[in-house]
Structure 1
């Protein structure tokens, strides 16, 4: 019996090592594309139907540019990798993302934010800011990725499937040592209960059958409870839910009275900006962030250019130091009255 189209899509995504999140997203967009066209089979459709679907999302759904691009990527993957069908040479719309400057915290705001975080959420937030990690890079860290001797963290299989080395902040070392001991105890409890396996990337589980139960492969920030892996059906201890850190950071920013929209990614933006403020060159920051193109890193130089390309306001130029002193003296006379 032939596999259903969406099952074929899932199988190809897994063979190509796409993440589970991407798998869910692509399957959902392809399903919505098919339903939008009255359950017609994609083999009977092509570029005009994709265009109509995207136009519907843009005009009636009012979706963002990133969402529209994702909705385009899913059916294109289906045609190229599953149906092995070339799309007619009809121009496909690709929404352009708006260029916005990232939100950056001052050093004082970072400290205030961290002071309102506690436990594992505080340790994770310290790594986002202190090492410049992305949220998912942080939650996916394994015990073996932390090197206390060399004061480094290895980010494995980051964005673009690239590994990189980032600094391990000295201030978090004592707490991270205690965190690893907590992971060790939790892992021993799981092993005693007949569990203790963790998800391993790609074919590593087949090459090293016992690696999934080794301590070094356990997540640095494990989930409080075991759960069933949706792909394998095995009960395992996964990493902590990233949404818990998102909520904790949002609440901490509110308690700290920070008048900005703060997310975990804001700490990564602040990491990059503060390094540039400290005099580190753009290439070093690019490497630490894991950016493929230096132009992506250049966005943080714009944050540092106060007042529009560091231009001094003409209002400030029109006020001489002498006139400012006279104004202050006049205010002093008024106060004495």
Structure 2
């Protein structure tokens, strides 16, 4: 009896995780792949190619009026699917109608305006926003910070798996140092007392949970900003993730 070929979803997940793409990229890529398949009435990508990709991207620009960056992300997802997952070359997809990118001046808040907004946020959201403003972190990067990512001696913040799946360091603002140290002490105290937020292991990247089973319950791996709800990891375990970037501060 011949073994069945794995589902496209499983093939895609295996390849993208072997290549260590972020979960955020994995979700967005799969969204566009699924959208592409549905656009072409559930036809398998192996039975399609450059003309179908061209039609889909053009439709996004003309009918859906998506932004140029959104269309580019959809193209990246499909190129990844064909090249990395299916082992096929798309070749020349031809001329695609591109969305016109309007020129707009960015809205930049003054320091006083930014501090006024931050001062109205509740704890710990004001601290999260302060890190974004003072250390130049993207919202997802700030949400993903762990205790071990703060180096108070060298006044550095280590950003893991940032844009382009790259790590980098940035300066820890001196004005936030004391408040951050107090926040870490609060986390440590709650962790030692096994308060509700720290009774479950935290989510870990890739196969780290199998290599270091105790890492998820250690202090250094705790999130700076934890979610109040548990989720399920790839092994089926209930774990605690970081706060979601879209969470309300109210």
Bin for the TM-score computed over the shorter chain: 0.7 to 0.9
Describe the superposition over 1:59-86 as per-residue Cα deviations: whole angstroms up to 9, x where unpaired. 1111111211122122211110111011
Does the CA-based 8 Å contact 1:188-1:196 persist in structure 2?
no
**Displacement of 1:194 after TM fit?**
9.6
Does the CA-based 8 Å contact 1:29-1:71 persist in structure 2?
yes
- In structure 1, the partner of 2:74 is 71
Aligned equivalents of 1:167, 1:144: Cα separation in 2: 15
- In structure 2, the partner of 1:52 is 55
**Displacement of 1:149 after TM fit?**
2.3
Describe the superposition over 1:238-286 as per-residue Cα deviations: whole angstroms up to 9, x where unpaired. 1111112xx44xx8xxxxxxxxxxxxxxxxxxxxxxxxxxxxxxxxxxx
Name the TM-score, length of structure 1 as normaliser. Answer: 0.66
Inter-CA distance 92–9: structure 2 relative to 1 (3 Å threshold): farther
Residues 1:15 and 2:7 aligned together = no
Inter-CA distance 55–150: structure 2 relative to 1 (3 Å threshold): same
**Displacement of 1:191 after TM fit?**
8.6
Q: Secondary structure at the match of 1:78?
A: helix
**Displacement of 1:117 after TM fit?**
1.5
Describe the superposition over 1:77-136 as per-residue Cα deviations: whole angstroms up to 9, x where unpaired. 111011101113332538465554432111111221122112111001111111111111
Name the TM-score, length of structure 2 as normaliser. Answer: 0.87
Larger Rg: 1
Q: 5+ residue gaps in structure 2?
A: none
Q: Secondary structure at the match of 1:224?
A: strand
Count residues in correspondence: 246
Aligned equivalent of 2:204, options 186, 200, 203: 200
Residues 1:102 and 2:106 aligned together = yes
Does the CA-based 8 Å contact 1:151-1:168 persist in structure 2?
yes
Task: Determine which structure has the larger helix proportion and give its number.
Answer: 1
Inter-CA distance 199–193: structure 2 relative to 1 (3 Å threshold): closer
What RMSD in Å do the two structures reach over aligned CA positions?
2.5
- In structure 2, the partner of 1:293 is none
Aligned equivalent of 1:131, options 135, 146, 149: 135
Does the CA-based 8 Å contact 1:195-1:235 persist in structure 2?
no
Aligned equivalent of 1:152, options 153, 156, 161: 156
